[in-house]
Structure 1
Amino acid sequence: MGSAEAGIPIHSIKISSVVPATVTGETAVHELTNMDLAMKLHYLRTVYFFKSEAIEGLNITAFKKPMFNWLDTYCSVAGRIRRSQSGRPFVKCNDSGVRIFEAQCTKTLDEWLEMKDDSSIHKHLVSNKILGPELHFSPLALLQLTWFKCGGMSLGFSWSHVIGDAFTAVKFINMWGQLMAGNPLPQSIQLPRTKVEKPTNVPSATSNPLSVKQVEPVGDTWLTANNSKMESFSFHISNTQLKHLQSKINSQIAPFEAISALIWQCLAQFGGEREPKLVTVCRKGPHAKSNEILSNKQVIITIKADFSIAKAKLSELAALIAKGATDESKEIEEMMEREDGLSDLIIYGANLTFVNLEEVEFYGLELKGQKPIFVNFSMEGVGDEGVVLVLPAPESGKGDNGGRIVTVILPENQVLQLKNELKRELLSS
């Protein structure tokens, strides 16, 4: 949560909560799937930036008004974590609500976006709260509205991964924007998940999936400590730079594979004997059913190379990312089932992890018909091997898609080296 300390120009912070418009009921629960529980130590942080025209005439009451019906539709998000007699977590839909922060900023929107080290500075515009140590009282979602001196605003959206992946989280926040615009609610209210389909005849495993790391038990404080100090940075790959990169590799290679191959090799250049030959790739899963709102359905893939990454051709790495993959999603679910959902795992950063967010509708949130001018997306709870997030860039207005925004979270001793490698390989092109 931002503050005026250490030169950060955030002040006048107010805190409140919003609850569903109608009572859900004392007995309503939302059961968490095995994949939900495998993701419980991860958090998604998104910051949307809007010009003054998008919020002109709107105040905090106008922003909160549609939230009551919004949480009627998504009543599980307004609940709190509880444990069954066996210790397995679930969500009690007790209408405790989402937490709202309001803050003021002494800088203009343009001044803020021009500040250096954007990824680290943006964290002051979104809540950094985690679940626990008092799980009974920890909100699953939090919003921070920050007004800039110029009249612009940022919306910081903090989401607990245990209730859904990035596609789910963005679908949730985009619905609020639709209600702000006066659009009707969905025809059917999305009821909590009251039953979880469990795998049958789960075999005894001789080893855990390669894409996960089992950590020391965290109890009711759902975050694990890193061995290294982690640092993040973001950069924009323009459409022109992206086409140039693809042409160097293979014009048929998709943007995500091309970017991932480049960063994989850049990190291997200074990895020495520890060059990352095992990586994890997370992609969009089956999100076709509109009634399955809260879900972790991303596909989790491991890729293992038996050759030097640093000396390989980029085309080889890109092809390996595109085709040479083992889907471990089912194995992760089976592992959690054997432990009745009680294992404490990390997935992002267990290995070097590449996350394909190109299809997430980050720019689908509109206020007064206007899209955000920029969206910053990051994660908390990333393991020591780091994560690379590839998401869409805002449209350039010149008839192209604006390229890609890439956010990298790595141990701080690798960040400067990676920046230098990227500058040599891509950013100067």
Structure 2
Amino acid sequence: MAEVSIICKRTVISTMPVQPGKFIPLSVLDRVMERNHVRSVFYYQFPSERKSGELTDKLRESISEMLSAFPLVMGRLLRSPDEGQWMVKCNDAGLRMVEANAKGTVNEWLQNLDREKELKLVHWEEMSHKPYFWSPFYVQITEFEGGGLAIGLSCTHLLSDPTSATMIIKAWADTTLGGKHIHQPPLFHPLPPQRQGNTYTNHQPYLINHYKSAIQNPVPISKHKHKTITLLFSQEMVRNCIAMAGIPNAHDHEKKLTPFEALSALFWTRTSKVKGMEGSLIDMSITLDTRRVLGLDNGFFGNYTVYNKVRGDGLDENELSKAAFAIKEVVSKMESDGVMDLIEWLEQEKCEIPPLMNGYHLVCVNLENVDSYSAIFEDNVSPVHVSYYIEPSVGPGQVLILPSPRSEGAFGRVVMVTLPEDEAEKLLNDELIQQFAPTTLMGLN
């Protein structure tokens, strides 16, 4: 018997029929992510024993309640008749669900985890040549024979960023725990309207230049086999990293580093070292959720992630503070006017072939605000572990910085790093990283 055995694949629909003739257009921030997809896995250790399939049956019922609030998730992609842009036709085509069993307990699984093994818990199918017959969202429920459960969600990045994907799991948990009530219903609204009497040429085009470069200079897809390592940094470890990466002579609040800025500097310098960079760091793309920057509620569903470039010229692996300052400076430029400049430029550009946004540079993604551990399906049972992947992994590498379980403190973080296999092994043994003594949650075979 395989470690994971597929029992069945089915389609689930909502308890309420979808309003016929409803269409949801996609934004330019949606469309630019067409070539990527998101996968996430939530692990649970439930306290009581149940019959095989009992949990799956319960979740199958509650997901139908949840889907009533997410018509986009059940819809299908098609092109608009006027400009040929992607849009979603809301219908009752439903969500694809895979049901599976796995050997052992969830704790045993987590003690011996690697990338290939984990991805068996989150089903994904590439878009078919007939998109209208293809499901953009998949869920997989895997019950462990010895106890525990994994919930995998995968979707095209065209329709959802990691924050929105987590929103689906959280809403599903709400309907399972409390009936039909969803604490934060999704908001399906367009991006903020373009500004009157203003154009993107009025500001410094930092974001525009980065996207323009990605569109005009497509990169060949790397054929290296990638591996993912996952490290847990406690609150004390993160504070130590912030202190080490601290900007000299910084006294005011504006110059203090965030956990993301300190950890991204750490892994930027260490990754550049294992790649053999001398006299500079590898160029990096910083990825932020801009809902807050745009003044939007966290419940806005879709894509609000934006990329910006951090140049590695003039820096080296031993200059952690300078690397952190460079990151902080770039993050500060990802403010409202800059993001609106980018949105307006993309609207005018009408890019026919979207770029592969995670294939151009080393990518560092800020997922600190993703509320993973509030997805509680039963009283007092939070996820014991959560993983995310932004696929495909084809470029120099990717660093995801996530919240840790709440027991680790407000500054605790989980860092998932995906690199070519030989580089991942070197990074795992890096002397400076080991100095912080993080817990290895996922290593190498």
TM-score range, shorter chain: 0.7 to 0.9
Q: Counterpart in 2 of 1:151?
A: 147
Q: Counterpart in 2 of 1:214?
A: 215
The equivalences for 1:387-402 within 5 A come to 387-396=398-407, 400-401=409-410
Q: Counterpart in 2 of 1:22?
A: 16
Q: Counterpart in 2 of 1:300?
A: 307
Q: Counterpart in 1 of 2:39?
A: 45
Q: Does residue 1:343 correspond to 2:353, yes or no?
A: yes
139 and 311 in structure 1: CA distance in 2 versus 1, 3 angstrom threshold = same
Specify the code of the residue in structure 1 equivalent to 2:263.
I
1:244 corresponds, among 240, 246, 249, to 240
Post-superposition offset of 1:278:
2.8
What is the distance in 2 between the residues matched to 1:199 and 1:353? 30
C-alpha contact (below 8 Å) 1:168/1:294 kept by paired residues: yes
- Which SS does the other structure have where 1:112 is aligned? helix
What is the distance in 1 between the residues matched to 2:298 and 2:235? 35
Q: Does residue 1:309 correspond to 2:316, yes or no?
A: yes
62 and 344 in structure 1: CA distance in 2 versus 1, 3 angstrom threshold = same
Structure 2: where are the runs of 5+ without partners?
248-255, 439-445
What is the distance in 2 between the residues matched to 1:41 and 1:159? 11
Specify the code of the residue in structure 1 equivalent to 2:5.
H
1:379 corresponds, among 381, 387, 390, to 390
Specify the code of the residue in structure 2 equivalent to 1:213.
A
What is the distance in 2 between the residues matched to 1:39 and 1:49? 27
Q: Does residue 1:258 correspond to 2:255, yes or no?
A: no
* 1:393-414 deviation per Cα after TM superposition (whole angstroms, max 9, x unaligned): 1133xx7348211111223342
Q: What's the TM-score once normalised by structure 2's chain length?
A: 0.82
Moved more, 248-257 or 80-89: 248-257
Q: Counterpart in 2 of 1:139?
A: 135
176 and 421 in structure 1: CA distance in 2 versus 1, 3 angstrom threshold = same
Report the RMSD for the aligned CA atoms in angstroms.
3.3
What is the distance in 2 between the residues matched to 1:193 and 1:153? 34
- Which SS does the other structure have where 1:66 is aligned? helix
Q: Counterpart in 2 of 1:221?
A: none
Post-superposition offset of 1:340:
3.1
* 1:354-404 deviation per Cα after TM superposition (whole angstroms, max 9, x unaligned): 1111121110111212101111222212441221000011133xx734821
1:87 corresponds, among 71, 78, 84, to 84
Moved more, 385-394 or 409-418: 409-418
The equivalences for 1:278-427 within 5 A come to 278-286=283-291, 289-290=296-297, 293-312=300-319, 314-325=320-331, 326-327=333-334, 329-330=339-340, 332-340=342-350, 342-369=352-379, 370-396=381-407, 400-401=409-410, 403-421=412-430, 425-427=434-436
Q: What's the TM-score once normalised by structure 1's chain length?
A: 0.85
C-alpha contact (below 8 Å) 2:103/2:146 kept by paired residues: no
C-alpha contact (below 8 Å) 2:162/2:370 kept by paired residues: yes
271 and 334 in structure 1: CA distance in 2 versus 1, 3 angstrom threshold = farther
Moved more, 26-35 or 348-357: 348-357
Aligned-pair identity in percent equals 24
Q: Counterpart in 1 of 2:95?
A: 98
Q: Counterpart in 1 of 2:253?
A: none
C-alpha contact (below 8 Å) 1:386/1:411 kept by paired residues: yes
What is the distance in 2 between the residues matched to 1:413 and 1:400? 33
Post-superposition offset of 1:88:
1.3
* 1:217-251 deviation per Cα after TM superposition (whole angstroms, max 9, x unaligned): 9xxxxxx9544333222122223322322232229
1:231 corresponds, among 227, 232, 243, to 227
What is the distance in 2 between the residues matched to 1:111 and 1:355? 29
Post-superposition offset of 1:281:
1.1
Specify the code of the residue in structure 2 equivalent to 1:282.
T
189 and 150 in structure 1: CA distance in 2 versus 1, 3 angstrom threshold = closer
Post-superposition offset of 1:305:
4.3
What is the distance in 1 between the residues matched to 2:67 and 2:159? 14
351 and 342 in structure 1: CA distance in 2 versus 1, 3 angstrom threshold = same
Q: Does residue 1:9 correspond to 2:3, yes or no?
A: yes
Post-superposition offset of 1:334:
4.1
Task: Give the total of aligned pairs.
Answer: 413
- Which SS does the other structure have where 1:48 is aligned? strand
* 1:70-120 deviation per Cα after TM superposition (whole angstroms, max 9, x unaligned): 21211011101101233311111122111111111122212211114x333
Specify the code of the residue in structure 1 equivalent to 2:244.
K
55 and 39 in structure 1: CA distance in 2 versus 1, 3 angstrom threshold = farther
The equivalences for 1:152-167 within 5 A come to 152-167=148-163
What is the distance in 2 between the residues matched to 1:63 and 1:297? 29
